[in-house]
């Protein structure tokens, strides 16, 4: 979800793993030559989602890459085929925490309404089942630092990796 700390945690985790880091939102803005808010205003959410999918499709071809995605990227089944080229981590943050983090942030088009907390609750409720398909769920506690989240991720990731044993006897 927006405001969950994907970019901050992602950058730190990528550095710790020795991976390159990319944020799909940043790449979409770079390609479009304008902000996400401007894309939403000029072309609508559907156009933004299309650009987001194109960026993800290109990124999934690489290895040793950590990608922070927009919170709505899970809405497209096609995107899941791209996401499953790697390990998917869900930073599970409550709507109330998200609201506190995002208060006053005018760059979030979906929150530009009279009741952003209700919007966050609704978005989270509608996406929860999709987020639950992640390989790893990290419930983020109130006030938990990005560094602490990275330490937990590093401890949990090996438990998610599939191992293949070959018996040559």
pLDDT score, position 166? 59
pLDDT score, position 69? 97
For the segment 147-154, the average pLDDT, to the nearest whole number, is 98
pLDDT band at residue 167 using 50, 70 and 90 as cut-offs:
low
pLDDT score, position 138? 98
pLDDT score, position 66? 97
Helices (H), the chain: 6-17, 24-32, 36-42, 45-59, 77-83, 95-102, 116-131, 146-160
Residue 136 has pLDDT above 70, yes or no: yes
Q: How far apart are CA 77 and CA 117, in angstroms?
A: 27
pTM above 0.75, yes or no: yes
pLDDT score, position 161? 86
Q: Which of left, alpha, beta for 145 (phi over 0: left; psi -120 to 50: alpha)?
A: beta
Residue 164 has pLDDT above 80, yes or no: no
- Render pLDDT for 4-26 as a digit per residue (tens, 0 to 9): 999 999 999 999 999 999 999 99
H/E stretch holding 92 reads: strand 89-92
- Render pLDDT for 72-130 as a digit per residue (tens, 0 to 9): 999 999 999 999 999 999 999 999 999 999 998 999 999 999 999 999 999 999 999 99
């Amino acid at each position: 979800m927006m405001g969950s700390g994907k970019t901050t945690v992602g950058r730190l985790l990528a550095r710790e793993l020795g991976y390159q880091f990319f944020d799909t939102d940043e790449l979409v803005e770079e390609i479009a030559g304008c902000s996400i808010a401007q894309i939403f205003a000029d072309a609508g959410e559907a156009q933004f989602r299309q650009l987001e999918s194109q960026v993800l499709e290109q990124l999934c071809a690489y290895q040793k890459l950590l990608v922070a995605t927009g919170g709505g990227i899970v809405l497209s089944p096609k995107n899941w085929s791209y996401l499953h080229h790697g390990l998917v981590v869900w930073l599970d943050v409550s709507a109330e925490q998200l609201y506190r983090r995002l208060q006053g942030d005018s760059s979030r088009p979906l929150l530009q309404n009279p009741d952003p907390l209700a919007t966050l609750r609704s978005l989270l409720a509608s996406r929860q089942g999709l987020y639950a398909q992640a390989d790893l769920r990290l419930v983020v506690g109130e006030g938990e630092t990005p560094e602490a989240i990275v330490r937990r991720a590093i401890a949990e990731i090996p438990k998610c990796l599939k191992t293949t044993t070959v018996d040559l006897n």
